[in-house]
Amino acid sequence: MMLDLKDTKLHAAALHYVGNKNSEEGCFLSTEALWLEDENQMRALRKLSTGSFSEGETWQFTHGSELQMNETYVFCKRLFENPEAILSISAELAKHLYEKSEHPQVKPGEFLVAFLENCYFQNQVCRGIVFIKIEHKEIFLRLRQVGQGWDMQLIEGLALQKPDRACLVLDLKQDEGYTIMLADKQKNNDAQYWRDDFLQVKPAADNFNFTSAVLKVTKDFVTKEMPDEFTVSKTESMELLSRSMEYFKSNDQFDRKSFAESVFQDDRVIDSFIKYEEDYCKHYELPSSDQFEINSTAVKKQAKIYKSVLKLDRNFHIYIHGNRELIEKGNDPDGRKYYKIYFENEE
């Protein structure tokens, strides 16, 4: 297991309120850290701090000039060096977040900073810092028995499920920008203020991201680039996608040359793919490598968008997983299009 937080301990936490700078809502900075003496409260806060993260894409702090100019990175470095200063450092982080909350659609909300101990990541025990932005609350019905009846009150609160935006910074690979995991429940356009402006992160150069990047590039190349450059049918495109996924499922190591040859089997297409991948990764700032260990978690996630489905009007969906030679396309005497499918066993 790459990430395990079940035995993680919550060392300290601080909570502030960050408004929308465009609306001049300001910040409310706490003068005391959160008390963690009550066991139930500590358990609930720990669940809120760790429940958003799972195995998946990792990130790292970055900056256009040099890493030391990334303010969030510097604050994390200071907090790892002195966890007891969480109140003052979290207040600086809250003010930094406020300065980046200029988009009119950025919602105000509570900003939680928590310091974690005993995090487990890739066979290493480390410490962690969690940032959580709470932008939406829920209405709960509170019931209390009073005498022979019941008292009902509507209260506003926070469910302990996945918060709006969350970031986990692990005390690993400090010189490279730490190891970071993100969780974002809100997929709207204003999310860039959190990831790109406040955190300033980029995908880490690791096996998960190498695997994801190649699969993303391949799908885009087959479905968008190839039809414009080469003569390729729908079924041929699906066969190429099927070969791509089969390569990742049946191999432990990735080699760009062997992958391109086994999937595309044509020198012109291979050269076009390699150039397309280089340009694509550079444009979207994706990590790239000629050789790497294939990450099975990334393969499983990408497999969800690799489904080979042939949609025919609104009547039929044909799932194609194997040999393209077992399906033929044609036209009948009346001009209607058809597919002929060959098979041996019916289940």
Q: Where residue 320 falls among pLDDT bands split at 50, 70, 90?
A: low
Candidate from 30-34, 43-47, 103-107 with smallest mean pLDDT: 43-47
Note the pLDDT tens digit of each residue in 118-130. 999 988 999 999 9
| % of the chain surpassing 90 pLDDT | 49
- Look at 43 and 99; give whichever has higher pLDDT: 99
Sorted by where each begins, the domain ranges of the chain are: 3-203, 207-341
DSSP designation for 230: S
> Which residues does residue 4 pair with via DSSP β-bridges, in sequence order?
120
For 81-118, the DSSP string reads H-GGGHHHHHHHHHHHHHHH--STTPPPEEEEEEEEEE
Q: How far apart are CA 144 and CA 167, in angstroms?
A: 36
